[in-house]
């Protein structure tokens, strides 16, 4: 069987090929293509598209494509159910679903940042998910206690940046974080507050408290949503993408989530906003 999805895979789009090759068809061929070429290439190759809007193998409600594969192929395995929860939490940025979700997202965000070859990403991902499956089968009840003066390190980091907070200009960490967020928007990668605090070596509680001072008086989550909506508006203005495609490309888990956040930010739903843009373009072209 042949399967195809969007290029630059990260979490769900690596988990699904792993599931296919390990539990559905070991000889399956996996293809990655740019978003706007996937359906055309699927028809050409006779491949089944997945993790795309308006196809069978995709997100449903709060479930990921990985969840649908389990349901569709009736894969009854407690270890796979554990992995599904981790993938779902990582892919939808709901790390409260599973304790391991934030770590999985961090690993694949880093790999996607370093590695430009989709095939190489998949090869590494296969190894990582093999390890995760062994953990979910045999080791998930075990705990690992880390030794070391973690509290002292966090205190040193806290005091380091506390000294900078008294300055009128934005501290260095705020500048670095702004660049990290912009990179997220440019590459469509996900960035959580925990991941940002790890990258910057800053206590996450301190980062959460200080964030709004340097980012438009918004919380971390609200600022990320604002940036995503601005990117969505840019797509509406400069491309012919459908609203469903724009929702996927700006990191929203589903269309209803995109509609809700867009209306909250702009006062209009996306379809009304897009119509006003088109009308404005027609008026200015006369």
- Cα–Cα distance between 268 and 261 in angstroms, integer? 10
> What is the chain's pLDDT, residue by residue, as a tens digit (286 residues)?
999 999 999 999 999 999 999 999 999 999 999 999 999 999 999 999 999 999 999 999 889 999 999 999 999 999 999 999 999 999 988 888 998 999 999 999 999 999 999 999 999 999 999 999 999 998 888 765 443 444 455 555 555 554 444 444 677 878 888 777 776 666 555 677 788 888 888 888 888 888 888 888 888 888 888 888 888 888 888 888 888 888 888 877 778 888 888 898 888 898 988 888 777 766 555 5
The packing angle between helices 172-187 and 150-165, to 10°, is 100
DSSP per-residue string spanning 102-168: HHHHHHHHHHHHH---HHHHHHHHHHHHHHHHHIIIIITT---PPPS-HHHHHHHHHHHHHHHHTSS
Q: What is the DSSP letter of 21?
A: I
- Cα–Cα distance between 133 and 127 in angstroms, integer? 10
Domains and CATH numbers, the chain: 2-139 (no CATH), 150-215 (no CATH), 222-272 (1.10.10.60)
The model carries a pTM of 0.54
Q: How far is CA 28 from the centre of its chain?
A: 25
- Cα–Cα distance between 66 and 80 in angstroms, integer? 10
């Amino acid at each position: 069987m042949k399967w195809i999805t969007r290029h630059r895979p990260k979490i769900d789009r690596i988990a699904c090929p792993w599931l296919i090759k390990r539990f559905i068809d070991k000889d399956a061929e996996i293809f990655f293509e740019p978003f706007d070429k996937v359906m055309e290439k699927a028809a050409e190759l006779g491949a089944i598209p997945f993790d795309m809007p308006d196809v069978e193998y995709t997100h449903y409600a709060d479930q990921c494509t990985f969840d649908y594969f389990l349901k569709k192929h009736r894969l009854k395995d407690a270890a796979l159910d554990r992995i599904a929860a981790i993938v779902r939490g990582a892919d939808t940025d709901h790390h409260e679903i599973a304790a391991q979700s934030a770590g999985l997202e961090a690993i694949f965000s880093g790999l996607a940042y370093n590695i430009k070859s989709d095939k190489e990403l998949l090869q590494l991902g296969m190894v990582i998910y093999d390890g995760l499956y062994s953990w979910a089968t045999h080791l998930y009840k075990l705990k690992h206690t880390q030794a070391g003066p973690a509290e002292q390190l966090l205190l040193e980091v806290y005091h380091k940046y506390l000294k900078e907070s008294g300055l009128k200009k934005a501290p260095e960490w705020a500048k670095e974080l702004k660049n990290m967020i912009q990179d997220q928007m440019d590459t469509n990668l996900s960035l959580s507050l925990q991941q940002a605090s790890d990258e910057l070596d800053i206590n996450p509680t301190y980062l959460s408290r200080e964030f709004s001072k340097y980012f438009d008086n918004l919380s971390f989550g609200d600022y990320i949503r604002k940036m995503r909506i601005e990117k969505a508006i840019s797509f509406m203005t400069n491309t012919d993408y459908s609203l469903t495609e724009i929702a996927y490309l700006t990191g929203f888990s589903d269309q209803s989530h995109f509609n809700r956040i867009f209306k909250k930010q702009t006062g209009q739903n996306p379809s009304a906003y897009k119509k006003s843009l088109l009308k404005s373009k027609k008026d200015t072209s006369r």
